[in-house]
Amino acid sequence: MVVKVYGTAYASPKRVLVCLIEKGIEFEAIPVDLIKGEHRSPEYLKLQPFGALPVIEDGDYTLYESRAIIRYYAEKYKSQGTDLLGKDIEERGLVEQWLEVEAHNYHPHIYNLTLHILFASALGFPADEKIIKESEEKLAKVLDVYEERLSKSKYLAGDFFSLADLSHLPFTQYLVGPMNREHMISSRKHVSRWWTEISNRPSWKKVLQL
Amino acid sequence: MVVKVYGTAYASPKRVLVCLIEKGIEFEAIPVDLIKGEHRSPEYLKLQPFGALPVIEDGDYTLYESRAIIRYYAEKYKSQGTDLLGKDIEERGLVEQWLEVEAHNYHPHIYNLTLHILFASALGFPADEKIIKESEEKLAKVLDVYEERLSKSKYLAGDFFSLADLSHLPFTQYLVGPMNREHMISSRKHVSRWWTEISNRPSWKKVLQL
């Protein structure tokens, strides 16, 4: 069964794509144009009532929220491709912890930076310099905690690559690329080593070429 | 092993407590006083480097982020107490989806309301009426989606009580109680039926009496 993934031009759906590639699952990309408002169409809202990206369709099964989708595939195909959940329930607990840290500590700040630095003019509102400055400061503090953590383990949840690392890829790519904030990563020795490792995975390179 | 839960006077740790009670797991409540800044002490930051609540200690195992902790116990003790994850991997996918909806669509607005209506003066900043109004409007739209969903299934992830429902309890209790916004729930027939069911569970009543 080929998994249909909606909205793959954007960052959150790329979280799903890199997971599917790591697990060796075939997918078909279905375009959704946010600028044209296609996420507000009645057809799309039947799939995702909040009008957000991504959604997957896998036969009769529909699922939304990128981090729910990656958990679903990592568990459903546990023994296929890269194991992204750890070898036991305690390791999985730490994967969940760092996946939540990504969602609640890392993402809000990097999302604000993305919105105000990259997308404000396309979306028709003025970039807010105060939000940019505050978000950069808050993200820097979070990265200081990451630096400490990554001085003790190879990846966030331990010495294994997991959903927690993978989940950081799409927005951090914006940060080091079009946002010109690579110094936030490269100035931190262990974060820099971690970023080099995860961003050089063949799965992520393949997503970037799509 | 008795699980130590830090910061049980506050809402996010209560998410963990109600889960432990549903699973029949013994716990010990460890106070952390946010007003006194105990979450910024060096001892606490060793347990939770972001200075947030809750943290659990279970023997040598330490875990933070409330939604990671409830996933850990729901899975570790799958066959003990209430099954909070669904009967198969597709049901668990939907539990994860609605748990993410709670975290990303529901929580930010109800958290803003909690902060500005209940805690602004205690924390020493002025309540922002604009944020209150906007958050209430956004939460109302989210509840409209819930109303539609709950007209088709008994609980959020399907016809079974799960982590997704449980996760809504602590902050929604603030909304219907001290925030005087009960009408946001009672004016929606299916949301109201759902809230009556989940808030009357013996586990939640026990948490409220702690």
Nearest-CB residue to A100 (from B67, B105, B148): B67
Residues A190 and A106 in one domain: yes
Low-confidence ranges of chain B (pLDDT < 70): none
pTM higher than 0.90: yes
Asked if A96 and A134 sit in the same domain, the reply is: yes
Q: List the single residue in A69, A72, A97 with the smallest CB-CB distance to B63.
A: A97
Contacts of A54 (CB under 8 A, 6+ apart): A5, A6, A7, A8, A10, A12, A13, A15, A16, A64, A66, A69
> What number is the ipTM of this complex?
0.96
**Final residue belonging to a domain, choices A33, A53, A77:** A77
Q: Is position B206 within any domain?
A: no
Contact assignment for A89 to B99 by CB distance below 8 Å: no
Instruction: Please indicate whether, in this complex, the C-beta atoms of B50 and A101 are within 8 angstroms of each other.
Output: yes
Same domain, B93 and B193: yes
Residues B104 and B8 in one domain: no
Q: How many of the other CB atoms lie within 10 Å of CB of B127?
A: 13
Q: B18 and B94 share a domain?
A: no
Q: Report if residue A195 sits inside a domain.
A: yes
Which chain A residue's Cα is nearest to B139? A50
Inter-chain CB pairs, A–B, below 8 Å: 73
Which amino acid appears at position B93 of this protein?
Answer: G
Question: Are the Cβ atoms of A89 and B72 closer than 8 angstroms?
Answer: yes
- Residue B99 structural domain: 89-201
B170 and B104, same structural domain? yes
What CATH number has the domain bearing residue A70? 3.40.30.10
B3-6: strand order across its sheet: B27-30, B3-6, B55-58, B61-64
Per-residue pLDDT tens digits for B102-127: 999 999 999 999 999 999 888 888 89
> Could you tell me the CATH number of the domain that includes residue A181?
1.20.1050.10
Instruction: Give which of B45, B57, B66, B67 to mutate to test A binding, by max A Cβ within 10 Å.
Output: B67
Model pLDDT, residue A35: 84
Instruction: Give the pLDDT score at B58.
Output: 98
Report the pLDDT value the prediction gives residue A115, as an integer from 0 to 100: 95
Low-confidence ranges of chain A (pLDDT < 50): none
In three-state secondary structure terms, A37 is coil
Q: Are residues B108 and B35 part of one domain?
A: no
Instruction: Please judge whether B65 and A96 are an interchain contact, meaning their C-beta atoms are less than 8 angstroms apart.
Output: yes
Q: In terms of domains, do B93 and B196 share one?
A: yes
pLDDT value at position A121?
86
Contact A68 B100 (CB under 8 A): yes
Chain A's closest residue to B149, CA to CA, is A49
pLDDT at A63: 98
Alpha helices in chain A (DSSP H): 11-23, 42-47, 66-76, 89-101, 107-113, 120-123, 129-150, 163-166, 169-176, 182-186, 189-199, 202-209
Q: How high is the pLDDT of residue B35?
A: 84
Chain A residues lying within 8 Å of B100, measured CB to CB: 65, 67-68
Same-domain check for residues A173 and A115: yes
How many domains does chain A fold into? Answer: 2
Q: What percent of chain A has pLDDT over 90?
A: 94
Q: B94: which chain A residues are within 8 Å (Cβ-Cβ)? A: 63
